[in-house]
Structure 1
Amino acid sequence: MLQIEKGQDIKQELLHRYKTILPDELIKIWEDNGLARLMGEYLKAVNPEDYQELLKETYFRGNISIPILVTAFGDIVTFEEGQYIGMVKYKNGNFVMLAKNFKRFIQNLGDDYFLEKYFQIPQYIEAVNKLGKLEQDECFGYVPLLGLGGSEKIQNLKKVKIREYIELISQLVGKIGM
C-alpha cells in the first residue's frame, strides 16, 4: 500500500480546473490529502501551475506535459499526452517514461525493481538522516552540479530550492531532450 502523508490543502478552483485533465487517481489524492507527500516524502504532489512555465522553458516536451510530482532530488514527474507518466531528470540531463498511465505508476511504486531503477531511495534516506527533512519547495541538490564535475556522493548534497536548482541546471545544459 502506498504511503501518503497529508499536505497543504488544494483550492477548489484548482481541483475543478484539473478534474477533467489529470487522472482520477491523482485528483482523489488531491481531494483526500491535498499536496500530499508520498513514499516517506520522497515524492511531493505539486500545484501544476507552480511548475508549468518552468517545465515549458526547460523540457522539450514541456508544452504537452503537466508537472504533477517532484522528487526529493528535484526531478519533475509529468503527465503527458493525457495518459503517460514521465520524469524529467534534471540533474542527469535526461528524461524517462515511467508508466503508460497514473494507475500503473502508483502500482509500480510498490515494485522494488522499479524503485531501484528510477528513484534514489537509499540516497534519500541517507540525505534525510544527514540533512533533515525537506520543505515543500526544497530538494536535495548536488553541489557542485553533476554537469560541472560534481559526483553523486552524500557529502555533496545540500538542501536547495527546487525551482532555482532546476533553473541553474537548465542554464548549464539547456532544454532537456534537445
Structure 2
Amino acid sequence: MDEFFSLFIEEMGEPIFRQEVPPSSIERYSGKLPKKLLEYWTEHGWCGYGDGIFWTVNPQDYEGVAASFIEGTALEGRDTYHVIARGAFGDLYLYGENSGFSLDIVAHTSQYCSRVNELDAGNMDKEVQGFFLLVERESNDFGDLFEPAYNKLGKLDHDEMYGFVPALAFGGPCDLAHLEKVKAVEHLVLLAQISTLEPYSFSDF
C-alpha cells in the first residue's frame, strides 16, 4: 500500500465489504481511467471505508446515474464522466476522460461543483493520489447525520445509501427521522429525475 492510500484510510476509516475487481473491469477502463486508480482497484477492490461513509465503486454500475444527472445540463457533451466513488448520502465523485477529477455531484440537493482541469498525462498518478489524500470524512457526513443514521438504521451494504424519504426536492425534512436505508443506484436515479442538476453558487457556501 502506498503512503497516499494509507493516509486516506487513516482519514476515512478502515475498509468494509470488499468486492474483488474482475480483470474484465480493468480491461474495460484501461485507457479511460488512470493506471494508478486501476492499480488501487486491483490491490484494494471496491469497498466502503469508515463504516460505509465513503465507497469506491464500479463505474459501470453508475453509468445510468451519471447519465440521468448530466442529461440536459451544461455538462452534457463536455466530457465522458465515470463515477468512481460515492458518499453515504449520495455525494458522487466523477472522473472525466479529458478533465480528470473535475466533477462532484451532491445528489440530495441536485447540485454540482465542476473545475476546469487540463489533464496532464504525465501527472495522472499524482492526480489519483491527490484525490484520495484530499477527500475528507467530514465532507461526506451531511449534517453530521452519519453516526446517528448508522446507530439508528444500521450498517450500509455495498449497494445502499442513506436517503431522505420523502426526498428533499419534494419538500421532505432534512432530519434523522426521515432518513432510510435505500438502494443507492435506484435512489440516485430517482433524485436525478425529480430535480434538475444545477451548479453551486457562492450563496450556497
Using structure 1 for the length normalisation, give the TM-score.
Answer: 0.84
| Residue matched to 1:26 | 37
Q: 1:72 to 1:18 in 2, by over 3 A?
A: same
In structure 2, how many angstroms separate the alpha carbons of the residues matched to 1:87 and 1:45? 14
Q: 1:99 to 1:171 in 2, by over 3 A?
A: same
Q: 1:85 to 1:133 in 2, by over 3 A?
A: farther
1:9-49 per-position Cα deviation (integer Å, ceiling 9, x unaligned): 11101112223322333222211121122344211111111
| Residue matched to 1:119 | 140
Deviation at 1:62, TM superposition (A): 5.9
In structure 2, how many angstroms separate the alpha carbons of the residues matched to 1:131 and 1:62? 36
User: Number of aligned pairs?
Assistant: 172
**With CA pairs under 8 Å and 6+ residues apart, which has the higher RCO, 1 or 2?**
2
| Residue matched to 2:94 | 78
| Residue matched to 2:23 | 12
Q: Do 2:153 and 2:180's aligned partners in 1 also have CA atoms closer than 8 Å?
A: yes
Equivalent residue runs for 1:129-144 within 5 Å = 129-144=151-166
Equivalent residue runs for 1:52-71 within 5 Å = 52-59=63-70, 60=73, 61=75, 64-71=80-87
Identity of aligned residues (%): 24
In structure 2, how many angstroms separate the alpha carbons of the residues matched to 1:75 and 1:161? 14
Q: Do 1:37 and 1:43's aligned partners in 2 also have CA atoms closer than 8 Å?
A: yes
In structure 1, how many angstroms separate the alpha carbons of the residues matched to 2:147 and 2:116? 24
In structure 1, how many angstroms separate the alpha carbons of the residues matched to 2:76 and 2:128? 18
| Residue matched to 1:87 | 104
Secondary structure of the corresponding residue to residue 167 of structure 1: helix
Is residue 42 from structure 1 mapped to residue 53 from structure 2 by the alignment? yes
| Residue matched to 1:166 | 188
In structure 2, how many angstroms separate the alpha carbons of the residues matched to 1:75 and 1:106? 15
Is residue 2 from structure 1 mapped to residue 8 from structure 2 by the alignment? yes
Deviation at 1:91, TM superposition (A): 0.6
In structure 2, how many angstroms separate the alpha carbons of the residues matched to 1:98 and 1:69? 17
Larger Rg: 2
1:154-176 per-position Cα deviation (integer Å, ceiling 9, x unaligned): 111100111221122222113x2
Secondary structure of the corresponding residue to residue 150 of structure 1: coil
Query: Which moved further from structure 2: 27-36 or 132-141?
Result: 27-36
Is residue 51 from structure 1 mapped to residue 72 from structure 2 by the alignment? no
Deviation at 1:115, TM superposition (A): 4.6
- Give structure 1 stretches of 5+ with no counterpart: none
Using structure 2 for the length normalisation, give the TM-score.
Answer: 0.74
Query: Which moved further from structure 2: 130-139 or 19-28?
Result: 19-28
Deviation at 1:128, TM superposition (A): 0.7
In structure 2, how many angstroms separate the alpha carbons of the residues matched to 1:98 and 1:156? 33
1:43-75 per-position Cα deviation (integer Å, ceiling 9, x unaligned): 111111111133112224365211111211122
| Residue matched to 1:147 | 169
Deviation at 1:82, TM superposition (A): 4.0
Q: 1:99 to 1:9 in 2, by over 3 A?
A: farther
